[in-house]
């Protein structure tokens, strides 16, 4: 949990893969690819819900496997792996900048924006709009149990944007004052459903009730190719100690605690998804997936399923 946010998680995983490649002493191509594949499977185990992580791993490994066909030495493939990792990290950086520029058009002078959790893409939209001279204010939820919303509030205040920190439970109370909900994404499915920090679905439901538009800021590498063929995004559950200490739990007696980190927001509660490739409705998610990953053939599908958590 020292690394938070789907984009940062993906970049960190890819950088870790790059370190393995750079430090490898493998003498032949097969040994090198095996080392990298082993590292990839370990990294995939760390964060099952953040689709950006496996997509980042796939980005590097796809290029490594392509180079493996023609390479005559491990050194050749090593250079490919190192460059692919650098390219992906740069892609994550520029994607957030592009989303900021595109999404800023959707914020108007005088708007009240509500955001949940801590999203670099959503922050980019708000800070870009502010730099363009638009005046608005933001409600930021605390986002329990790890209070990522406080990071968002701090970042907004540092940028000079008026921000009010509110309890997660108070979202419905304040929603009547809100013009736009702007949130990030950990994963987006082929049908446009959103997987994001737990509580997002309740925010979207409250917005839907009073006809407030919900915008999602998400890089294209957060779209899940597995969902094109009916796979489900696994929802990560974390330790109950994030919610209550072991001592306090013991005092409650036979009480079971569950701590899901994410939830699923249906596409009908989302108005627009802002990506670095443009703005799409939720039902346009399949188009982004096909643009980024192509229409999966049986051979390509086998490649995407090479690096799966359940095969470790």
- For the record, the structure tokens of 47 come out as 């964060």
Instruction: For residue 144, give Cα distances in angstroms to 150, 244, 297.
Output: 10, 12, 42
Cβ burial, residue 151 (10 Å; 0-12/13-18/19+): middle
Asked whether the beta carbons of 196 and 185 are under 8 A apart, the reply is: yes
Q: Find the catalytic residue in 186, 263, 271, 310.
A: 186
Q: In this structure, which long-range contacts are made by residues 279-282, counting pairs with CB atoms below 8 Å and at least 24 apart in sequence?
A: 279/102, 279/103, 279/106, 281/192, 282/191, 282/192, 282/193, 282/194
Residue 239 bears catalytic tag: no
Identify the active-site residue in 111, 117, 168, 271. Answer: 117
- Mapped onto helix, strand or coil, the DSSP state of residue 223 is strand
Active site annotation includes 168 = no
Give the separation between CA 64 and CA 71, rounded to whole angstroms: 10
Q: Which residues are catalytic?
A: 117, 186
């Amino acid at each position: 949990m020292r690394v938070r946010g789907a984009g940062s998680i993906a970049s960190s995983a890819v950088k870790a893969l790059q370190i393995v490649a750079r430090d490898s002493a493998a003498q032949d191509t097969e040994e090198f690819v095996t080392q990298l594949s082993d590292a990839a499977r370990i990294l995939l185990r760390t964060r099952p819900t953040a689709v950006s992580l496996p997509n980042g791993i796939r980005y590097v490994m796809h290029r490594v496997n392509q180079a493996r066909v023609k390479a005559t030495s491990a050194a050749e493939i090593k250079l490919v792996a190192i460059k692919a990792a650098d390219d992906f990290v740069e892609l994550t950086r520029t994607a957030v900048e592009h989303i900021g520029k595109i999404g800023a058009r959707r914020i108007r002078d005088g708007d009240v924006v509500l955001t949940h959790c801590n999203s670099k893409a959503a922050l980019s939209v708000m800070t870009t709009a502010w730099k363009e001279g638009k005046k608005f204010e933001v409600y930021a939820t605390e986002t329990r149990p790890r209070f990522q919303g406080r990071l968002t509030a701090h970042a907004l205040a540092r940028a000079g944007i008026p921000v009010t920190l509110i309890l997660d439970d108070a979202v419905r109370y304040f929603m009547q004052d809100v013009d736009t909900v702007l949130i990030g994404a950990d994963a987006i499915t082929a049908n446009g459903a959103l997987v994001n920090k737990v509580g997002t679905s309740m925010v979207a439901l409250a917005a839907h009730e009073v006809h407030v538009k919900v915008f999602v800021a998400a890089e294209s590498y957060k779209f899940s190719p597995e969902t094109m063929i009916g796979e489900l995004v696994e929802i990560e559950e974390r330790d109950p100690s994030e919610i209550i200490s072991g001592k306090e739990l013991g005092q409650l007696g036979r009480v079971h605690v569950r701590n899901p980190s994410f939830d699923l927001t249906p596409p009908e509660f989302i108005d627009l998804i802002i990506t670095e490739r443009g703005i799409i409705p939720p039902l346009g998610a399949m188009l982004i997936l096909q643009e980024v990953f192509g229409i999966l053939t049986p051979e390509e599908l086998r490649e995407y399923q090479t690096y799966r958590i359940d095969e470790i």
